[in-house]
Amino acid sequence: MNRTATSSIEALIAVAAVAWLTSALQPVLGLASSALLFLLPVLLAATRGGIVPALVAVLAGAGAYNYFLLEPRFTLRVHELDNFISVIVLGAVALVTSRLATRLMTREAEANERARASTEAAALSSLLAAGSPAAALQDGLAFVAERYGPARLVDAADLARADTGLTSLDLSAAAWAIHNGDVTGHGTETLAAADWTFVPLAPRSRPDQVVLALAQPADGRVRRPVDLEQVSQLCLLLGQCRDRASLEAERIERERIETSDRLRRTFLASLAHDFRTPLTVIGGCLELLAPQSPVAAEALLAARRLDRMMGNLLEAARIDGGSLAVNLESLDPVDVIAAACDGLAPPAGVVLHRILPAELPFVRGDQVLLHHILANLLDNAARHARTRVTVSAAVETDRVVLRVEDDGPGVPAAERTRIFDRFSRIEGTDRSGGSGLGLAIVKGFADAMGVPVTVDERPGGGARFSLSLRLAAGASA
Amino acid sequence: MSRILCIDDEPAILRLLEVVLKRDGHELVPAADARAALAALRDAPVDAILLDLGLPDRDGLELLAAIRAASTVPVIVVSARGEVREKVAALDLGAADYVTKPFDGDELLARLRAALRAADKAGSPGGILAHGTLRIDVPRHSVESAGQPVALTPKEFAVLKALVEAGGRVLTHSAILEVVWGKAHREDVEYLRVVIRALRLKLERDPAQPELIRNEPGIGYRLA
């Protein structure tokens, strides 16, 4: 508006100047040249102010031409047709020129806007490329906030928190932006009543879990669509930087885990070595003495138990490290059970029974972990059994259930969860030395494989542990 | 009587091994590190090697590879490192067997006997292989179990032949897969498990309680 008024005044001044000039020089110039001179203010007004000042110049110019130059001078009457035509031509020139000028000016303004936008995007890009992605992301946020007002990131987890300082309408807008990848909230067509504008950081094709929240302008304006478009572009840059930052964070975390895992492995390996070397010597010497001496035979058993405990401690340490490597493959349950039974030396008076159907389907599991689980369950059963330990396998709907049973005192219902905790013992029943870790390792390894393990009562008394294994891909019950 | 090179940096272990080996009439040649071991090997031939992996001057697996490159003498790894992948690595590098510390003397001697026997046989590729009541006629592709002929598929025959040739030593999954199916199938353990089950159904007295083909979890198979 302002600009139109200024240009209109300028046009009037220019018309006045031309009127004065032409009337002063009229004897020299002649009518035709004078009429042409009145085009100048029109062109000037059209290019500087557009259509309104141009029309002002046309009307003022036509009036002045008529009043000062055309006979009868100093009246506004029009006598001859050609004079009337000059007024119309002048008007047409004004219209066309101003349209052209307006279009040019619009294009220039657009080009300027685009240049500014791309300069801004380039500046943000180079800012984001510098330094670590996480720090660059903060710099990038500050860059956007400096130009477009207070800004921060809101992610899906924030939506559930109470302390975000956002109204429920804002939270709805944020959720919409996160789930649909649209620019949402203040200044947009979606939930426009919100106080903030939410701009996605990822292209609509793959919505991300985070959006940029942009406070509404402090002066109460509504942002132009073109500005929001620009913010969207900047947000895509921020999004790429954030992706890099999270990749970087993942890499660092992975390296940290690998390093600590390596250190732990080295530590455990040397610990195992340092314990087992003397145990080997002790056990080996006792083995030589055992045939002649019952005391040495007793000591040999103790040495072997010590080694088992050592093994259990090392395995528990592997579970704690959280880096238990699980290699799920297709296994023959017969293989697994046979290997576990081969390693069992039941105490005198206890017999091991196997009940296996002839054609068991293959199951899915980690062979080494499953072997440890079964070996520990068998060891546990052998230590508690009175006369027999039974290991069995059965197909139940789409699973193979392995069971290890003993005819010992059993596990009271109240203890059936606690029994898988470390160093838990049922009072008064633990007659012979377990490490207190065996069942905890069973649970830890089973959890790592995603295999449920439970304990209940064997029909006829005693404990019954069950492992429920999924069938291998392609196997059928 | 055989000469057994024992490589271990712990003198007490060497003394223990000496007593254990004497029970089978073997002579112990001691070496406290890799350098001494290689020197001893150059000085005089030995019949088998017991190798500890935790040596002061060199990684045990490296030494194993070096020994394997120079000779075919059977190496039994005797180590406190009990991790499965360590065992597989040693076996794949050509160790004849793997015994974890603390070891049982009788078991160590049994494994040693098996390794020595297999090494003896390696030089004479006879047409007939035998293991317990099993007889394999290699040229005629026929197998007898306790005098009864058993019909095997070519893959079953090849797996059984590999196990019998190993003479009670463990063969890793990948070793059997490579021999029978080829290098490209080193990882396809499931092929092997299917054939092992089929072999057990044909050869074992009770296939659900296998006694002949033993599974070493995560490592491989061996014949009892």
Residue range B21-34, pLDDT digits in tens: 998 999 999 999 99
Chain A: residues touching B (Cβ < 8 Å) = 269, 272-273, 275-285, 287-288, 303-304, 307, 311, 329-332, 334-336, 338-339, 341-342, 354, 356-358, 360, 362, 367-368, 370-371, 472
Write the pLDDT tens digit of every residue in B69-112: 888 899 999 988 778 888 899 999 989 889 888 888 888 998 89
C-alpha–C-alpha distance, residues A351 and A431, integer Å: 18
pLDDT surpasses 70 at A9: yes
Instruction: Closest CB to A280: pick one of B101, B200, B209.
Output: B101
Instruction: Closest CB to A281: pick one of B12, B197, B209.
Output: B12
What pLDDT was estimated at residue A156?
84
Measured between CA atoms, the residue of chain A closest to residue B217 is A368
Q: B128 forms bridges with which residues in the sheet?
A: B137
Please report the number of interchain residue pairs, chain A to chain B, with beta-carbon separation below 8 angstroms.
Answer: 99
The verdict on a CB contact (< 8 Å) between B210 and A338 is: yes
Q: Which residues of B touch A317 (CB under 8 A)?
A: none
Kindly write down the DSSP assignment for every residue of A282-312, as one continuous string.
HHHHHHHHTTT-HHHHHHHHHHHHHHHHHHH
Amino acid at A417: T
Of A49 and A278, more confident: A278
What pLDDT was estimated at residue A64?
84
Tokens of B82: 């009990």
Measured between CA atoms, the residue of chain A closest to residue B212 is A338
Which range, of A23-27, A106-110, A152-156, B153-157, averages the lowest pLDDT?
A23-27
pTM: 0.64
What's the length of chain A? 477
List b or e across B64-73, with b for residues whose CB sees 16 or more CB atoms inside 10 angstroms.
beebeeeeeb
Write the pLDDT tens digit of every residue in A402-411: 999 999 888 8
pLDDT surpasses 80 at A8: yes
What pLDDT was estimated at residue A429?
55
C-alpha–C-alpha distance, residues A137 and A151, integer Å: 12
Write the pLDDT tens digit of every residue in A79-92: 667 667 777 777 78
Q: How far is A399 from chain B (nearest CA, A)?
A: 18
What pLDDT was estimated at residue A428?
57
What pLDDT was estimated at residue A400?
92
C-alpha–C-alpha distance, residues B222 and A339, integer Å: 12
C-alpha–C-alpha distance, residues B183 and B178, integer Å: 5
What pLDDT was estimated at residue A269?
73
> Count of alpha carbons within 13 Å of B199, Cβ hemisphere only?
29
The verdict on a CB contact (< 8 Å) between A362 and B13 is: no
Overall average pLDDT of the A138-153 stretch:
90
C-alpha–C-alpha distance, residues B224 and B222, integer Å: 6
- Mutate which of B77, B205, B215, B223 to disrupt the A interface (most A C-beta within 10 Å)? B215
- Which of A211, A255, A237, A258 lies closest to A133 in space, CA to CA? A237
Write the pLDDT tens digit of every residue in A294-306: 999 888 888 888 8
pLDDT surpasses 90 at B221: yes
Instruction: Closest CB to B13: pick one of A277, A335, A338.
Output: A277
The verdict on a CB contact (< 8 Å) between A335 and B103 is: no
Instruction: Closest CB to B13: pick one of A280, A311, A341.
Output: A280
The verdict on a CB contact (< 8 Å) between B80 and A288 is: no
pLDDT surpasses 90 at A327: no
Q: Which residues of B touch A371 (CB under 8 A)?
A: 217-218
pLDDT surpasses 90 at A204: no
C-alpha–C-alpha distance, residues B199 and B160, integer Å: 8
Label residue B196 by pLDDT band (50, 70, 90). very high
What pLDDT was estimated at residue B65?
93
Of B167 and A153, more confident: A153
C-alpha–C-alpha distance, residues A394 and A425, integer Å: 29
The packing angle between helices A367-384 and A333-342, to 10°, is 50
Instruction: Closest CB to B16: pick one of A284, A329, A332.
Output: A284
Overall average pLDDT of the B37-47 stretch:
90
Q: Which residues of B touch A360 (CB under 8 A)?
A: 208
Instruction: Closest CB to B190: pick one of A276, A329, A371.
Output: A329
What pLDDT was estimated at residue A259?
86
Peptide bond into B102 cis (omega under 30): yes
C-alpha–C-alpha distance, residues B179 and B162, integer Å: 8
Overall average pLDDT of the A449-477 stretch:
86
The verdict on a CB contact (< 8 Å) between B197 and A334 is: yes
Q: Which residues of A touch B190 (CB under 8 A)?
A: 329-330, 362, 472
- Mutate which of A265, A268, A279, A287 to disrupt the B interface (most B C-beta within 10 Å)? A287
- Which of B84, B3, B17, B104 lies closest to B52 in space, CA to CA? B17
Overall average pLDDT of the A428-438 stretch:
64
Q: What percent of chain A has pLDDT over 70?
A: 94
Q: How far is B40 from chain A (nearest CA, A)?
A: 24
Q: How far is B123 from chain A (nearest CA, A)?
A: 32
Query: Residue A364: which H helix or E strand, with range?
Result: strand A363-365
Residue B121: Cβ-neighbour burial (10 angstroms; 0-12, 13-18, 19+) = middle
Chain B: residues touching A (Cβ < 8 Å) = 10, 12-13, 16, 19-20, 54, 80-84, 100-105, 189-190, 193, 196-197, 200, 207-210, 214-218
Write the pLDDT tens digit of every residue in A365-421: 999 899 999 999 998 898 888 999 999 999 988 899 999 999 988 888 888 888 888
Distance of CA A418 to the CA centre of its chain: 38
Instruction: Closest CB to A285: pick one of B16, B193, B208.
Output: B16
Q: Which residues of A touch B83 (CB under 8 A)?
A: 269
Measured between CA atoms, the residue of chain B closest to residue A359 is B208
Report helix, strand or coil for B165.
Answer: helix
C-alpha–C-alpha distance, residues A273 and B13, integer Å: 13
C-alpha–C-alpha distance, residues B185 and A50, integer Å: 80
